[in-house]
Chains A and B, each alone.
Chain A
Amino acid sequence: MKRNQKLAYLFIAPSSLILIIFVFVPLFEAFFISLTNMDIYMNGYNFIGVDNYLRILEDSRVWNATRNTIVYTIIEVPLQIALSLFILLLMLGNNKFHKFLRTVFYIPYVCSMTAISVMWSMILNKNSGMVAFMLSKIGIEIPNLLGTPGYAMGTVIAVSVWKSFGYTLTLLSAAALGVSQSLYEAAEIDGASWIKKFIYVTIPGIRETIAFCLVTTLITALQVFDQIYVLTQGGPLYSTETLVGYIYDRGFKTAPFDVGYATSVAVYLFFLIAIITFVLRRYATRREEE
């Protein structure tokens, strides 16, 4: 081993150690716990093999939660990125307010998801909320957005997009600022309109950042929890219950606090996320190579 190679290992040692202690060890521990019937009191639990995993196969709530998680993800992620791109397009046309708007849109992202969810649940409340009251004054009766199975998921997604698009927007606009000015100038000489410049110069220039946003928001979306916990508690009739919500419910909310089973669902979610991310990355890199 060369001297600077050793040095390199020395440099990465501290972070590897942290990674091992705080990521890999808990990960393997979780795999182990998922094979036991441990409850929250951790007294006298036994190794029960793959029983928990067999239970998942029969548990309709897991499949319902999987479906909800996927529905949430495939609607929320593209919507968030599309909205960010759209606003980016509008912002590029106006440089004066660019910075100001970016800050404004970023504010909800900095706020706590819980606080924002509480606020929205108050606003959207059918019986005491502002939206229903205002609309009723002009003669529009809205359904109970958070309390009706058909609307609850859409409402949760809308709140999530509202809160998080500032994050994607900031990343995308930072990347857009990095696109070489000479490309725009060349496009201008060719007589391209600002919308054409956006489509043919900006988007290709920030493609990698879009892919990055896609992966990170996807992982966050698959782990959605806070907003649902506050807005609907997974209801009505489990129509917004996601996998993380169900894990929390089994492990910490409903007796007998079945941590072993909850962990096995968590392991299942881990693999779900791993597979989806893997496939997506394969796809994204292939696109880049082309």
Chain B
Amino acid sequence: MKRKIISGLLAGLMAMSLFTGCGSAANTTTASEGGSDTGAKAEASTSDPITISFWCNFTGSDGDVLREIVDKYNSTNTDNIKVEIDIMDYGTLQSKLPTAISTGTGPSFILAGVELIKQYKENDMIEPIDDFWDVTGIDKSNYNANVLEKSYFDGTQYGVPMQYNLQYLYYNKDLFAAAGLDPEAPPTTMEELEKDAIACTDEANGIYGLGLPVNYGNYVEYLWANGGDVVSVDGKENFLNSDANIKTLTWIQNMINEGVSPKALDAGEADTMFQAGRLAMYTSGPWNINGLNQLGVNYGITAIPAGTDGAFSPEGGCSWMLTKGADEATKQAAYKFMAYWISDDILKEWSNRNGFPVWANSVLKDSEIQANEILADVSAASTIGRDYHLTLDCGSQIDADVMQPMMEKILSGEDVKASVTEASAKLDEVLGL
């Protein structure tokens, strides 16, 4: 009898263990109601609010601000629109969205990186929204053309920009002062960057001058600065294996050898170390500003330092996109929400609280924005944006399969030339050359 109980127990345990694996994935998100469905319902009875939903991967502190703004819209809008927000991590979003849209269980609209527009368009997942400016009556010229441009593909508009960003150099003013450097004079050239990084490094106390994470992805801003590059904008040419690149990458490796950065640093760790005041400088996007302000870190932001060829920074951004098959009511409601987002108040709030650069002329004139020192620095540092494989289908593959392994090797001290040659061969493969 005892044996039977035990075997029963075993069978139960085994069955449980079989299900634990899939359970966690399925539970991460609950599918939102189909936008088209709820839209139709709303038409039937005017008293019901029109519910539109969107998916995004704003899992950080910026997601909290986003949620607050959406809640504010829900409680203040007079059009009887209710916006539902569904935040999930990037991998989940990428894997769920295509099937969700094709089976009609997807969101009414999405908030995603501008680099995905081409992919989504070509796979029939998003609707053109050419009539957005006409329908909403918003003056297009109020917004930076280069930001708007990112939401177009083949001359057709597919998105409304939500935010725009570059990579910036963050520096800790206290550590600069402690090292005897002027806290108001961050490095502007790569030589100064190296010099300051060495000056700030105090390995005995666990303080480092410059964070060089292995999984930061690409160091393309430094390659560009010295006249190098990785891939042509159309993805048809491989520029990786060049003397200029080898020189720049050797410079980066030398800094690791000089001990200015912890070895085998992880990008997340770099964030933590900078927040803890143990890293004097590092490169990152504006999404860290909110957290740094909350922690009261005495930091500054400046443009990526210039090399022999100038200063550049890879640009990116997010756009609102309307998913395929949205009906008229959903589309109108989504337009109203998108228009609300690019209104001065919201853009100002988003920039003020999250530190994203301002890209609307009317907001730039705002006195509160002008008085915000960090924001002024961010906006000033945002003029050097350059397109890094934004429109290429294989963009993420270049980062994952070519650039990251190459940087991991170089940063761990392997031969630069050999690493670049190997990565260049891999890049040819990825580009299909």
Contact = CB atoms under 8 A, between A and B. Distances in A.
Nearest to B265: A127
Contacts of A148: 264
Nearest to B409: A237
Contacts of B214: 147, 235-236
A28 interface: no
A36 B232 CA distance: 30
Nearest to A128: B272
B127 to A, nearest CB: 15
A189 interface: no
A241 to B, nearest CB: 11
A237 B422 CA distance: 14
Given A171-B10, A175-B6, A178-B2, A147 B264 contact: yes
A16 to B, nearest CB: 16
A43 B24 contact: no
Interface in B374-433: 393-397, 400-401, 405, 408-409, 412
Contact of A236 (B264, B276, B396): B264
Contacts of B408: 235-237
B207 to A, nearest CB: 11
Contacts of A174: 6, 9-10
B121 to A, nearest CB: 11
Contacts of A252: 91, 94-95
Interface in B1-39: 2-3, 6, 9-10, 13-14, 17, 21, 24
Interface in B246-278: 262-266, 269, 272-273, 276, 278
A255 B17 contact: no
Contacts of B401: 254
Interface in A29-56: 39-43
B13 A255 contact: no
Interface residues of A, number: 44
A162 interface: no
B188 interface: no
A40 B95 contact: yes
A155 interface: no
A51 B360 CA distance: 50
Interface string A153-169: 00000000000000100
A127 B273 contact: yes
A174 B400 CA distance: 46
Contact of B269 (A40, A41, A128, A175): A128
A127 B208 CA distance: 11
A103 interface: no
Given A128-B276, A236-B214, A256 B24 contact: no
A255 B395 contact: yes
A42 B102 contact: yes
Contacts of A112: 24
Contact of B13 (A127, A146, A147, A171): A171
Contacts of B264: 126, 144, 147-148, 236
Given A235-B214, A236-B264, A249-B400, A43 B123 contact: yes
Nearest to A43: B123
Contacts of B13: 167, 170-171
B57 interface: no
A125 B269 contact: yes
Interface in A125-139: 125-128
B394 A256 contact: yes
Contacts of A220: 17
Nearest to A174: B6
Nearest to B263: A144
B136 interface: no
A31 B215 CA distance: 34
Contact of B266 (A147, A149, A248, A251): A147
B215 A216 contact: no
Interface of B: 2-3, 6, 9-10, 13-14, 17, 21, 24, 91, 94-95, 98-99, 102, 119, 123-125, 206, 214-215, 262-266, 269, 272-273, 276, 278, 393-397, 400-401, 405, 408-409, 412
14 contacts: A40-B98, A125-B269, A125-B272, A127-B262, A127-B278, A128-B272, A147-B265, A148-B264, A167-B17, A177-B2, A236-B214, A236-B264, A251-B95, A256-B397
Given A147-B264, A256-B393, 9 more contacts: A41-B124, A127-B269, A216-B14, A220-B17, A223-B21, A233-B215, A237-B405, A237-B412, A254-B401
